[in-house]
Amino acid sequence: MRRARILLLPLLLLLAVAGPAAAATAMTADAGIILDLAKSLTNPPPSWTGTDVCGGVSFSGITCDGAGRVTGINLVKLHLSGTLSSSLANLTSLQSLQLQGNVLEGDVPSLARMGSLETLVLDGNAFSALPPDFLEGLPSLLKLSMDNLPLNPWSIPDAIAGCAMLQTFSASNASVSGSLPAVLANLTSLQTLRLSYNNLTGVLPVGLEALGALETLQLNNQKSDGKLSGPIDVVAKLPSLKTLWLQSNLFTGPIPEFDPNSQLEIFNVRDNKLTGPVPPSLSGIASLQDVSLSNNFLQGPKPNFTAKTVDLKSGNGFCREDSGPCDPLVTTLLEVALGFGYPLQLAKWAGNNPCDPWPGISCIKMDVTQIKLPRQNLSGIISPAFASLNRLQRLDLSNNQLTGVIPDALTTLETLKYLDVSNNRLTGQVPEFKQPNIKLMTAGNRFGESGGDSGGGGSNDGSSSSNPTGSHNSKSNVGMIIGILLSVILLVICIGLFLHHRRKKNVDKFSPVPTKSPSGESEMMKIQIVGTNGHSSISGSVPTELYSHSSVDSTNIADLFESHGMQLPMSVLLKATNNFDEDYILGRGGFGVVYKGTLNGKLVAVKRCDSGTMGTKGLQEFMAEIDVLRKVRHRHLVALLGYCTHGNERLLVYEYMSGGTLREHLCDLQQSGYTPLTWTQRMTIALDVARGIEYLHGLAQETFIHRDLKPSNILLDQDLRAKVSDFGLVKLAKDTDKSMMTRVAGTFGYLAPEYATTGKVTTKVDVYAYGVILMEMITGRKVLDDSLPEDETHLVTIFRKNMLDREKFRKFLDPALELSAESWNSLLEVADLARHCTAREPHQRPDMCHCVNRLSSLVDQWKPTNVIDDDEEGGTSEMGLHQQLERWRCGDFTISDSESFSTYNTSRKYH
Ligand SMILES: *[C@@H]1O[C@H](CO)[C@@H](O)[C@H](O)[C@H]1NC(C)=O
Ligand SMILES: *[C@@H]1O[C@H](CO)[C@@H](O)[C@H](O)[C@H]1NC(C)=O
Ligand SMILES: *[C@@H]1O[C@H](CO)[C@@H](O)[C@H](O)[C@H]1NC(C)=O
Ligand SMILES: *[C@@H]1O[C@H](CO)[C@@H](O)[C@H](O)[C@H]1NC(C)=O
Ligand SMILES: *[C@@H]1O[C@H](CO)[C@@H](O)[C@H](O)[C@H]1NC(C)=O
Ligand SMILES: *[C@@H]1O[C@H](CO)[C@@H](O)[C@H](O)[C@H]1NC(C)=O
């Protein structure tokens, strides 16, 4: 009895104190939360009466466990409206929350404490926001479905990686933006990933191949501007994949090879930018039922699918209507394109006739004789398949991003006469070409480096095997290099002596350059030095910041000039241009011929002045002119690197600009193969040119006038930054008042009226020509177009007329321009500037520094933030105070007030 009392007492105590209290609070807490929910719904289910939440009969849709905790809320398709109360966050035993098919709105409460939640279905409600901790703390989640929600834009949080057991993630039409996070790859149990109709951008993360259980992948119809893009290779690495929907995106590259045992049933890649042939491994998949490939750039043989539904009829470039094999030439060229990864640039290699012609291909009698693909941003490797084109004579792959080696097979091409692979990232060794008289251009590569990082198709074993050699080996390498250097120096001396001996003979060998001379005036003749002490005053050094930053690393060339001054021996230039080889000609002008050349492994442009028009110009005058040219240096002026005089020969060596001329980028697109420039690119070029001319006009030590500004004199580098070339300079002497008379030089159409009629030349002559160039950049038209009716031939007249009518003007713009509202506004401003620049009276035209100010404010608006602005502003402090004042003064007057042009004093002098 006593014993029982002793036992019973604590038990009673326990019951009295802890028991009832604990049970009551747990019950009431979850029940209270459900009662909260009933209140926040505007139309709670009719059965929800009383307070016995877990009692069973009332409160339909609510399930509880034995301890009275709520484990399920399943309120499907009840037309419930209202919001979810925030206290829902405290239902920490919840396993299933299914609310699909209602019209609930407001915020989704925090779910972060629901460690047991397995099913979350929110489809088709009207929620506007997700909690900030969305997907945190949900390690048990198996199914997440949230389609068709008008949410504020959100992106998939990295916290999703914590939902390690997730099998279904479906959030289509749910305002998902941003990119697919790499952590999706951690969801290795995922079977369904559905993110269609969102605002996703970016590429498919390569890590997705870890999703070994994924059966359904639907990423179609992204609504963002950039959509989903990049290659789709990873989809072929998903072993369980059955349904793939990627349609209506911007995916590029070829369809990958599939495993023959693939389970694939539905393959939809319609409306993308896929290229290359359809791999037979795809058409061979037995389980395929539904295939859709329309509206891509697929090439090669038309695939032969056995699937029930096949859609490939429109918008592809298969070689034939039936599934038969392609012409062998097509097969070979597609192998070539394979080397480049089937780039979009070669998507027009479609159909069965490369001589149709395909871009970059030239044929004679249905045999490919030339392939020219310079500056196409090609990456990948040079395919050995080129060697199957057994009539190929010329191959130009210069200025791309090619890696790997030059295939040995090319040495077997008997017809090959010309191979230009300069300015790529090729490695290994240049193979020995035995073809007689073959011209090789290989400068600007990484020959001799190991191809380890090139990714260039494994054909570089030779060089990489020499990589892991010991350090003592590199010492002997140094010795070897010194040896080679010594023998090279000896050889150079010998050749020098030899050439010296033969110099007279050589001179006779260069025939005069046959060129047309439209202006009747040579480059050199255009330079006129006014004033007797002209060049003594410009001997002061130019601030180094203003020196042209050449895209070509010119240090080696600088060394060369170090030993010769700027004067180069004829022998060097003969070698650089392969004895002025026809194949090296870059262009011809009124003054002579420009050759591409290689000096010390760097590309240069060598201008050989027309000896016919050089006349009797004395050496002393030429040297005085060189003195001017070399002082005029600026990052937006093509730099003179050196010169050569030899008998009657006059040669100028300039930096080489790999991007061609502005003219080629504006109106000769068909021939040049360039893609049209965007508005932002045009503005950047316009500003570069304005800066170069501004420097000539005022910021250099003295005033220079270009006199022949036109798009073919504006050269671009690989990054489409511009430099002005070919200055036929007139230097205004300090004491010259406003203008001076000269013989008219220049190009019709760009000539300012007063200059054309009287020969009176001021800096405003250049401003006029600049205005014309702006008009050409806006309209994509040439200044004179004889193909148009007579009253429309002159661009300036018709441009100024069309500007009066906004609608007419809109139609008049370059159709290749895609303009946002922002760029349309800036275009109008530039058009206005162009109009003022081409004013009839010189004093009505703005100064060049005004153009720079106007354009730089416009360009800065759209410059992508990751572009590093040029350091010109930093250079200001290095300039004289006087020049700064000039700039500030220019910034003071505004162009919108045309009155101010007439009152603005154009006879400012520079000291
Ligand atoms: C959850 O419960 C805690 C105490 O049990 C309370 O302080 C908190 O306010 C509750 N949270 C919500 C969102 O109601
Ligand atoms: C997308 O969701 C909204 C509601 O958020 C719905 O009205 C619309 O019909 C849905 N669109 C599609 C294509 O399902
Ligand atoms: C998607 O992005 C576009 C702009 O790219 C925007 O207009 C649209 O409102 C966005 N849609 C959603 C659902 O976020
Ligand atoms: C994802 O998985 C990788 C390796 O499988 C792991 O290192 C990483 O921590 C995981 N990320 C997260 C966020 O769990
Ligand atoms: C396409 O495939 C079917 C079945 O494999 C075959 O009978 C037919 O000859 C093929 N057609 C062509 C043109 O290859
Ligand atoms: C050139 O190609 C690279 C990748 O191959 C790309 O990132 C770059 O944007 C391309 N540049 C241009 C101008 O198309």
Sign of CA dihedral 758, 761, 765, 766: positive
Pocket of ligand 4 contains residue 29 by CB under 6 Å: no
Testing ligand 5's pocket by substitution, the residue of 302, 319, 323, 326 carrying the most ligand atoms inside 8 A of its CB is 323
Atom 3 (ligand 6): residue with closest C-alpha?
377
> Is 713 near ligand 2, meaning CB less than 6 Å away?
no
Residues with a known catalytic role: 708
Domain boundaries, the chain: 79-311, 328-441, 523-859, 870-910
SS3 (DSSP) at 244: strand
| 310 C-beta closer than 6 A to ligand 4 | no
Please tell me what DSSP assigns to residue 741: E
Kindly report, residue by residue over 535-563, the tens digit of the pLDDT: 322 222 322 223 333 333 344 455 555 44
**Cα(213) to centroid of ligand 6, in Å?**
34
Three-state DSSP class for residue 63: strand
Beta bridge partners of 243: 216, 266
Is the shortest distance between the CB of 430 and ligand 4 below 6 Å? no
* Per-residue exposure over 499-526, b if at least 16 CB sit within 10 Å of its own CB, e if not: beeeeeeeeeebeebebeeebebbbbbb
Confirm whether residue 607 is marked as ligand binding. yes
Q: Are 499 and 568 in contact (CB under 8 A)?
A: no
CA of 222 to the centre of ligand 3 (A): 10
Cα(249) to centroid of ligand 6, in Å?
19
Report whether 85 contacts 106 (CB < 8 A).
no
Per the CB < 8 A criterion, the answer to whether 456 and 404 are in contact is yes
Judged on CB neighbours under 10 Å (0-12, 13-18, 19+), 891 is middle
Q: Determine if ligand 4 sits within 6 Å of the CB of residue 819.
A: no
Q: How far apart are the first and last CA of the chain?
A: 122
Residue nearest to atom 13 of ligand 1 (CA): 87
CA of 181 from ligand 1 middle (Å) equals 32
Nearest-CA residue for ligand 1 atom 12 is: 87
Any idea what DSSP says for residue 698? I
- What is d(CA 258, CA 237) in angstroms, rounded to the nearest whole number? 8
Are 208 and 190 spatial neighbours (Cβ–Cβ below 8 Å)? no
CA atoms within 13 A on the CB side of 269: 24
Closest ligand, as measured to the CA of 152: 3
The list of the chain residues with pLDDT below 50 reads 1-27, 452-486, 488-556, 562-563, 733-738, 863, 865-882, 884-885, 887-911
- Residues 821-863 pLDDT 10s: 888 889 999 999 999 999 999 999 999 999 999 998 888 655 4
Question: Dmax of the chain from CA atoms?
Answer: 140
Angle between helices 795-802 and 763-779 (to 10 degrees): 70
Q: Are 677 and 662 in contact (CB under 8 A)?
A: no
Ligand sitting nearest the alpha carbon of 149:
2
Looking at the CA of residue 153, tell me the nearest atom of ligand 3: 14
Containing 218, the helix (H) or strand (E) segment is strand 216-218
d(C-alpha 91, C-alpha 116), whole Å: 10
Residue 880, both tokens: 């004289």
- Nearest bound ligand to the CA of residue 182: 4
Residue 200, classed as helix, strand or coil, is: strand
Please give the distance, rounded to the nearest whole angstrom, from the Cα atom of residue 677 to the centre of ligand 6.
14
Mutation probe of ligand 2 site: the residue of 122, 127, 173 with most atoms within 8 A of C-beta = 173
Would residue 448 be called left, alpha or beta, if left means φ above 0 and alpha means ψ between -120 and 50 degrees?
left
Quick: pLDDT tens for 480-499: 444 444 454 444 444 444 44
Dist. CA 77–CA 874, nearest whole Å: 66
For the CA of 147, the nearest atom of ligand 2:
2
Q: Side by side, which strands form the sheet with 703-705?
A: 528-529, 730-732, 703-705
The reply to whether 79-311 and 328-441 are identical in fold is yes
> Exposed (0-12), middle (13-18) or buried (19+): which is 46, by Cβ within 10 Å?
exposed
**Which SS3 state, helix, strand or coil, does residue 48 take?**
coil
Q: Indicate the CATH number of 523-859 among 3.40.50.2000, 1.10.510.10, 1.20.1050.10, 1.10.10.60.
A: 1.10.510.10
User: Which tokens go with 443?
Assistant: 């400068």
Q: What is the pLDDT of residue 816?
A: 87
Element of type H or E holding 230: strand 228-230
Ligand 1 pocket mutation pick from 37, 90, 108 by most atoms within 8 angstroms of CB? 90
- Give the alpha-carbon dihedral of 610, 612, 618, 621, to 10 degrees: -40
Mutate to test the pocket of ligand 6, among 229, 373, 377 (most ligand atoms within 8 A of CB): 377
Secondary structure string (H, E, C) spanning 800-834: HHHCCCHHHHHHHCCCCCCCCHHHHHHHHHHHHHH
**DSSP 3-state of 407:** coil
pLDDT at 716: 92
Residue 432, ligand 3, Cβ within 6 A: no
Measured in angstroms, how far is the CA atom of residue 377 from the centroid of ligand 6? 6
Name the residue with the closest Cα to ligand 4, atom 3: 186
CB atoms within 10 A of CB 567: 12
* Residue whose CA lies nearest to ligand 4 atom number 12: 161
Q: Hey, whose CA ends up nearest to atom 13 of ligand 3?
A: 175
Query: Tell me, what's the pLDDT at 617?
Result: 53
The H or E element that residue 426 is part of is none
183 lines ligand 4 (CB under 6 A): yes
Smallest CA separation from ligand 4 atom 14, residue = 161
For the domain made up of 79-311, give the CATH fold.
3.80.10
Residues flanking ligand 6, CB < 6 Å: 377, 379
What's the CA-to-centroid distance between 815 and ligand 2, angstroms? 35
Nearest ligand by distance to the CA of 91: 1
Question: Which residue, by CA, sits nearest to atom 6 of ligand 3?
Answer: 224
Cβ atoms of 437 and 410 within 8 Å: the answer is: no
Asked whether 224 lines ligand 3 (CB < 6 A), one says yes
- Provide the 3-class DSSP secondary structure of residue 105: strand
CA-224 nearest atom, ligand 3? 5
Assigned CATH topology for domain 328-441: 3.80.10
Q: How far is the CA of 111 from the centre of ligand 1 (A)?
A: 13
Residue nearest atom 4 in ligand 4 by C-alpha distance: 186
Task: List Cα–Cα distances, 745 to 57, 617, 767, 783, in angstroms.
Answer: 101, 18, 16, 17
Nearest CA-CA partner of 205 in 172, 241, 166, 178: 178
Pick the closest to residue 122 from 75, 161, 165, 157 (CA basis): 75
By most ligand atoms within 8 Å of CB, the mutation choice from 127, 197, 224, 250 for ligand 3 is: 224
Element (H, E) at 835: helix 821-837
Q: How far is the CA of 218 from the centre of ligand 2 (A)?
A: 16
Ligand whose nearest atom lies closest to the CA of 161:
4
